[in-house]
Amino acid sequence: MEVSSVRANDETAEYQLAASRIEPYGTPLTISLPAKTDPTASHVTLSIDVATTKDCTALQWLTPAQTSNKKHPYIFSQCQAIHARSLFPCQDTPDVKSTFTFNIRSPLPVLASGLPTGPKDFQPSKDGKPGTLLYTFHQEIPMPSYLFALASGDIASASIGPRSTVWTGPEELTASQWEFEKDTEAYIQAAEKVVYPYAWTTYNVLVLPPSFPYGGMENPVYTFATPTVVSGDRQNVDVIAHELSHSWSGNLVSNASWEHFWLNEGWTEYLERRIIAAVHGSDQYRDFSAIIGWKALEDSIAQFGEDHNFTKLIPDLKGKDPDDAFSSVPYEKGFVFLYHFEKLLGIEKWDKFIPHYFTTFKQKSVDSYEFKATLLDFFANDADAAKKLQNVDWDTWFYAPGFPPKPDFDTTLADQCYALADKWQALAENRKESDFKPSAKDIESWTANQSVVFLERLQSLPDHPITPELINLMGTTYGYESSKNVELVSRFYTLGLMSRAESVYKPTAELLGEVGRMKFVRPLYRQLIMRDRKLAGRTFEENRDFYHPICRGMVEKLFEKHG
Ligand code: BES
Ligand code: ZN
């Protein structure tokens, strides 16, 4: 960013930006306080004039042509993990929290990560520029800089619950409303039962343009979400259960540094799955979600290698970019750790600890050692629980790379998926006992996520026995080819690419021009680069401007890695 002036306690102050950047962290800004500053004062008021540059990694600016109705420009931010510093000077660590007031002028509606206190002060158009309103927000709960967020564009809102609204482009509004109105309030109430009442007054969802690089981002008051969650079948609302859960784990109780990221994401997976179990009235559903999570953990560990630092629950991130360390490890290893405590102590005792932990560290930041101390302390006077906790091998959990012990998940919902995968495997291997004739009936009663588990099972088969012909048969018989559910379709294409089914190459390239969510973009490029490097390269060049700067950088790294 460019800094043009600094004032301290209303006096002009000398400041210095270091001559060179320290990658990947940026440039320190050093401010010298005016000579007459009282050295015993408890605080100093700084006012810094800054402008972002075209290299700002926290923002994506979309031209009208890049939006769905092509009428207006759009801007949105994504600050987690260390991009807030490209937007405003700050102590960009989650160990520092503060309240925020946001004042933003725009010709189009604005959302920011606080409660709206405007808009106000309309200024009419001038010199051909459109008129603007001053949009104002306040966040009274102290929050870390990575939760700062803003978006502005042609957006409208609709109610999805008594304390919730969804925001998105006017053309997409009714579909988004339908997707979320059934579950949002039920999720909030389920989470409140496990932890304690929701603290942020309203819980809203902003559905962003397709280049949004994540599934969801837990910005306070307004969760930011990828449009791929609006799949028309309410099958991806678990993303909302996840982002909502961050209202406790992450946003009220924040990881003190990115090395303790599992305290954000592991706890959030845990709460998300408690919500899923509660609304379905059965633990089968949470274990089914955990089974999908375990496969994601396997993929991440395979990517890094079993001995890699980034597969530790607490990795060493000194000098590293947290975006490079990002994977399913903190999510799923963290989840398994907490699930382990639930089983070890019994749900009744564990459920008493949950609100205690979230009360102890409310509005604070926490590391893994404080988590451990608080847990041990809470059960110190319960001989049975204390003994069980004494036997926990903390150092192995915290610092051993690779897999944690695999829990004994309830496989009821996954078994049907595995059984069908076995049949396809037998078909592929031409086994005599197989008289299996695939038909649409095979998956008639399934949810989309059951198809995901089926497809991932086939991806994991050694030597990839599924032939291109079988991929085509599967695509037409089960309708995977034409599914609007990107979770499903991306798994189908990945399997197709692994199986060298050329019929999926072009559709993969097309999908890569329609969604910029890294969860889909990265594995698809990884496969496409191996199968058809030219097509992969061309697809990236054509869509370079469509991707968010973070996603673009990640894909560039993939091309470098694969020569
Ligand atoms: N906070 C994360 C997204 C994130 C993590 C952004 C690290 C930047 C750096 C968010 O809560 C998240 O986990 N999103 C998931 C969806 C979820 C259902 C697992 C995603 O984007 O896929
Ligand atoms: Zn999360």
> Are the C-beta atoms of 458 and 497 separated by less than 8 Å?
no
Residues with CB under 6 A from ligand 1: 80-81, 214-218, 239, 242-243, 246, 265, 326, 519
* Per-residue pLDDT at 162: 98
- Tens of pLDDT, residues 160-201: 999 999 999 999 999 999 999 999 999 999 999 999 999 999
| Rounded Cα gap, residues 26 and 83, in angstroms | 10
The one-letter amino acid code at 88 reads F
Closest Cα to atom 16, ligand 1: which residue? 215
**Tokens coding 395:** 């150092």
Long-range contacts, stretch 499-505, CB < 8 angstroms, 24+ apart: 499/464, 499/466, 499/467, 499/468, 499/470, 499/471, 500/468, 500/531, 501/467, 501/468, 501/471, 501/472, 502/468, 503/468, 503/471, 503/472, 503/475, 504/471, 504/475, 505/531, 505/532, 505/535
Residue 477 binned pLDDT confidence (cut-offs 50, 70, 90): very high
Average pLDDT over residues 407-421: 97
Mean pLDDT over all residues of the chain? 97
Give the separation between CA 276 and CA 186, rounded to whole angstroms: 10
Q: Given the DSSP bridges, would you call strands 14-17 and 29-32 parallel, antiparallel or unpaired?
A: antiparallel
Please give the Cα distance from 174 to 168 (Å, whole number).
9
Taking residues 462-472, what's their average pLDDT? 95
Phi, psi values for residue 233, rounded to 5°? -130, 10
Q: Give residue-wise pLDDT tens across range 487-497.
A: 999 999 999 99
Q: What is the DSSP string of 510-526?
A: HHTTT---HHHHHHHHH
Ligand 1 pocket, mutate which of 187, 242, 249 (most atoms under 8 A from CB): 242
Q: What is the pLDDT of residue 318?
A: 97
| Cα–Cα distance measured from residue 94 to residue 66, given in angstroms and rounded to the nearest whole number | 33
In the set 331, 357, 480, 525, the catalytic residue is 331
Chain-centroid distance, C-alpha 238: 12
* pLDDT value of residue 173: 98
Give 147's DSSP letter: G
What separation in angstroms does the CA of 66 have from each of 189, 203, 316, 478, 485?
Answer: 37, 28, 39, 33, 22
Q: Are 88 and 2 in contact (CB under 8 A)?
A: no
Cα of 243 to ligand 1 centre, how many Å? Answer: 8
pLDDT at 435 (0 to 100): 87
pLDDT at 562 over 90: no
* Each residue's pLDDT tens digit, 264-308: 999 999 999 999 999 999 999 999 999 999 999 999 999 999 999
- List the catalytic residue out of 243, 332, 481, 487: 243
Would you state the pLDDT for residue 208? 98
Integer Cα distance of 284 and 457 in angstroms? 19
Q: Is 331 a catalytic residue?
A: yes
Average confidence (pLDDT) over 88-112 = 97
pLDDT > 70 in the chain, percent: 100
Index of the ligand 1 atom closest to the CA of residue 550: 8
Q: The whole model's pTM is what? A: 0.97
**Ligand that comes closest to the CA of residue 272:** 1
In DSSP terms, which residues pair with 508 in a beta bridge?
A: none
For 374-411, how does the pLDDT look when each residue is reduced to its tens digit (9 = 90+)?
999 999 999 999 999 999 999 999 999 999 999 999 99
pLDDT band for position 213 (cuts 50, 70, 90): very high
Identify whether the C-beta of residue 300 lies closer than 8 Å to the C-beta of residue 327: yes
How many residues are given for the chain? 563
Q: Which two tokens stand for residue 130?
A: 């459109």
* Annotation marks residue 140 as catalytic: no
Q: 298-328 as b/e, with b when 16 or more CB fall inside 10 Å?
A: bbbbebbeeebebbbbbbebeebebbebbbb
Q: Tens digit of pLDDT for each residue in 318-374?
A: 999 999 999 999 999 999 999 999 999 999 999 999 999 999 999 999 999 999 999
pLDDT at 433: 73
Helix (H) or strand (E) segment spanning residue 470: helix 468-478
Pairing relation of β-strands 132-143 and 120-123? antiparallel
Give the residue among 435, 502, 427 at the shortest CA–CA distance from 458: 427
398-414 b/e (C-beta count within 10 Å ≥ 16 → b): beebebbeebebbeebb
pLDDT on residue 430: 86
**DSSP secondary structure string, 218-233?**
--SSEEEE-GGG--SS
